[in-house]
Each structure stands twice: as C-alpha cells, then as structure tokens.
Amino acid sequence: MPALAAVGIERRAAAGESLAQLELASALDANGEYDAARQWLERAAASGDALGRTMLGEVLLSRSPYDVRRGVLLVRAAAEAGNARAAHLLALLTAAGVGQPQSWTNAVGLLLAAALGGSTLAQDALANSSSETALAKEALRSRTKDGAIWTALAKSIDLQPFFAAPRPGIVSASPRIAVVRDFLSPELCNWLIARARPVLRPAEVYDRDSGRLIVDPNRNNRASLFPLVLSDFMLLLLRERMALVIGLPAVFMEHPAVLHYRPGEEYRPHWDYCDLTLPGPAKDAAENGQRVLTFIVYLNDEYEAGETAFPRLGRQFRGRRGDALFWWNVDPDGKPDEQTLHAGLAPRQGEKWLFSQWVRDRPGILFRG
C-alpha cells in the first residue's frame, strides 16, 4: 500500500470509519502485524459493523490467543444482521459442533441464508449435496438470484451418501494400511481441485527444533490448507465420511490440505508421526496430541508414476480418481511405527492432485471446551 494512501486510510480509520478500519486491518494482517490488525478489528466490531464482527470472529477462531466462545458469538451476531460471509461460517461451526451442539440440519438452514445473501461457497455446497442434479447444475451455471431455486436445492439435500462410507480393504496388517475404493465421486474430486488451485502455496513441514511450519528442500510440491474459517460444507462432509471409515471422530483431525505435484516435484521419505525425541515435534505432540493416522484421497489419475511409496515395505500404492489410502503412523500400543516411512513420488508427466488429512489422538483446539 503506498505511503500516502496508508496515511489517508489510517486517518479515516481513526475517525471511526469502519470500512477504513477493516481495510487497514487487512493490510496489517497481510504484513504480519497481527496485534495491530486485531486492534482495528476490535474497533470495527465494537461499532456494530457486521463484517467487522465476522472478521474478528474469524481471527479468534483461527489464531492464538483463541477465544472460541466469543468468536462464535460475534459470528452469530453478524449472521443475524444479514452478513452472508458470517452465515456461511456459522453454518460450518454448526455442522462441526464448534461452541454449540453439532447439527447438520441447522447448518443447512444457515447455508441457505448465506446462499441467498450471495455466498458462492454456500451456493456450491447446496448444489453439490442436492439430489436435484439438473437444477443444481443450472443454478451454478447461472449463479441465479432466484431465491426459490436455492430454497428448492436446500430442501432436496441428501446427506445419506456421505454418511454411508464404504468398507476399507486391509492391504497390510503391520504396519496397518488400508484402501477404500470409490471413496469420493469424480465430481467432488474435480470440485476439490478447482477449490484448491487458486490458493496453492509452497508445501511446508514441521521444523525439528521449533515445531513451526517451514519450507524444506525435502518437499518441493505445493499445497492448499483449509482451516475451519476458510473451509466449506463439502470439506466437513468429507471429514465426517473419513471418520466413519477410520473409527476416529472428525474433531481429532488437523486442517485438511489439497496437495499438488508437477513433474519432478516430490515429498522425500519421511514419517508423519511426531518424533518425540526431537524438541519441536515433542512440543507439538504435548500440546496437540500424537499424529496417529494419515488419510489421502487420489483426486485425479491423469499422470504417470507419482505413487505413494513405503520403502521399508518395498511397496507402492496409486489409486484411481476417488480412491483413498490410509495408514496408522503408530502401532496398536500407540508407539511410532518406523515401518511407515513413506514418500510422495514425483509424477513423470501430468499433474498429481491429492487430498490429505492427518489425524491426532485428541480433539483440536476448537473442540476442547
């Protein structure tokens, strides 16, 4: 932001203009000045600005110091004031059970309110989960403003296919590895790729000393992360479907990611569990639990090579579009299993897309009451 423009925005913000306060907060946040950004969000929210309440709620639900109760209250107040962004986020909080009882029915009602307010993510969710496929396709093509159509799609939503997960097939007893054929539909796979593509960034790993996420030469692919405040209804449904397969609740899951590999890009052999002999991972495990399971879904199959390799087992896996692979990173006693050393091999041609979900042995920070 040019210096003169910044001065002008700050003057307007100081004079109480909520739009300037939000613009200044966004610029400060993008520059890593989180405390200063939060102060301006507090001022905008205190004035009753619905977008300011939404943005402050998002911060309280996504960044330390967390305040889940207040974050949910702010988002709810903004949704009740008619803010579509807040209504969409409140739908996610309701579906996930953050700060309130979980209710998919109530979440659909909030999605409808968000869709009627113009939220494209809410409209996508209604269309992608509706049984009226022809009507849904036309609604997405036109982005219609006809509320009756979005209402009809909401009434036709059928969540049963998501909650009727297929049975896994065991391919290794030690370490424990399983596959799930046709876990996701081709349409949902394509949608996840389209959802992730605009927000790809260099993939990171956990630093062995600090425990913070860093870029590392052992991993040169790209990834899109989806914390709850940036998530959507379809991702939450996908996580619930995973939970049914693995027997662990969705509240134990980290932020999901969509991974992208171009020819030559790889993730060299590594373990996904927290190595308790290293200070960074040990601190992470103490605060957030051991990472006990990894679940991936193959989102496309138009590439050569690019298998998921387990070098200590001499085995490689590659699913078709929509197939899933998961493995336990620990043995039945909870001890890290060194046999789970694995690598994401580089494709020779084409682009490889995966959905990736790590699972801990305790609830995430938003679900700790």
Structure confidence at residue 4 (pLDDT): 37
What count of residues does the chain have? 369
| Burial bucket for residue 5 (CB in 10 Å: 0-12, 13-18, 19+) | exposed
Residue type, 166: P
Q: Tens-of-pLDDT digits for all 369 residues of the chain?
A: 554 356 688 899 999 999 999 999 999 999 999 999 999 999 999 999 999 999 999 999 999 999 999 999 999 999 999 999 999 999 999 999 999 999 999 999 999 999 999 999 999 999 999 999 999 999 999 999 999 999 999 999 989 888 988 899 999 999 999 999 999 999 999 999 999 999 999 999 988 888 788 999 999 999 999 999 999 999 999 999 999 999 999 999 999 999 999 999 999 999 999 999 999 999 999 999 999 999 999 999 999 999 999 999 999 999 999 999 999 999 999 999 999 999 999 999 999 999 999 999 999 999 997
Cβ 280 vs Cβ 207: under 8 Å: yes
The pLDDT tens digits of the residues spanning 253-279 come to 999 999 999 999 999 999 999 999 999
Nearest CA to 3 among 27, 19, 34?
A: 27
Q: What is the three-state SS of 226-282?
A: CCHHHCCHHHHHHHHHHHHHHCCCHHHECCCEEEEECCCCCEEEECCCCCCCCHHHH
CA pair distance 311, 337, nearest whole angstrom = 14
The pLDDT tens digits of the residues spanning 129-164 come to 999 999 999 999 999 999 999 999 999 998 988 898
In the DSSP assignment, the letter for residue 330 is: B
- How many beta carbons lie within 10 A of that of residue 56, not counting itself? 28
Structure confidence at residue 168 (pLDDT): 97
| Phi, psi (deg, nearest 5) at residue 289 | 95, 160
Structure confidence at residue 209 (pLDDT): 83
Which residue ranges make up each domain of the chain? 3-155, 169-367
Cβ 85 vs Cβ 152: under 8 Å: no
Q: CATH classification of 169-367, choosing from 2.60.120.620, 3.40.50.620, 3.40.47.10, 2.30.40.10?
A: 2.60.120.620
CA pair distance 97, 252, nearest whole angstrom = 13
Retrieve residue 296's tokens. 């991936």
The CATH number that domain 3-155 falls under is 1.25.40.10
